[in-house]
Amino acid sequence: MLKIAFIDHYDSFSFNLIEWLAEASQSISIEQVYYDDADALSKLKKFPIPSVISPGPKSPEDIPETISFIQDVWGKAPLLGVCLGHQALCYSRGFTIGHALDPHHGAVRPLSYLQDPIFKGCDELNVVTYNSLIVNTPEYCNDSEYKIIATDQSGQLQAIKFLGSKFPIYGLQFHPEAHLTKLGPVLARNWLKFLGQ
C-alpha cells in the first residue's frame, strides 16, 4: 500500500481533500501531518514520501515550516499543492504572491489549459475557486523549471507543473475536491497514477 503524507494547515477543506484522494484509490494510506508538528515534519524530511500540501487561511509568508519542508524534500518525492499549498510550492521557488483580480469563494470558473497528463480525460475544465490570493505570473517564463498549464479567464495562474525533478510536482490554485469541480475524481486518479510509475 502506498503511503501519502497530507500536510494540513488546519483548513476546513482538509477532510474533503483526504476523502477525494481516498475515493480515487483503495491502495493508498494517508498520514495527516499538521504543518506545525516539528517532529513529524522532521521525520518526513529524512524519509520523504508523496505529499499533498493543503489549503489554508494564511499566506505562504505565514507558514515558514511548510516552506522549509518543501525546500528540503524538493526533488525527493512527488508533491501536490492545493490553493495555499500551490502558493507555497511557487513561493518556495521564488514566485511572488498577490491579490486575485476577481476573488470569488465557491465560484465555478472555466479554465484554459494545456495538454498534460494530469488533465488526461478532461474535455473541458470547470473548477471551483476559494481564494483571495494568487501566484503572480512571472513576466518571463523559465521553460526549463516550470510550465504554466492552466489559467482562468483573467489570465491568472491556476495550475503549474514544475520541471527538472524525477518526481512529479504540481500546484493547483483551484479546489479539485469540490463537488462542483466535476472532473475532480479524474484529476485525483491521474495524480495517483504518477505515484505508481
Q: Catalytic site residues?
A: 83
Give dist(CA 187, CA 174) in Å, integer: 12
Look up residue 102 and give its three cell numbers. 476577481
Contacts of 17 by beta carbon, 8 Å cutoff, 6+ apart: 6, 52, 54, 55, 82, 177
The CA-CA-CA angle for residues 124, 160, 36, to 5°, reads 120
Cα 33 from Cα 23, distance rounded (Å):
19
β-pairing, 112-113 vs 146-151, is: antiparallel
What is the identity of the amino acid at 8? D
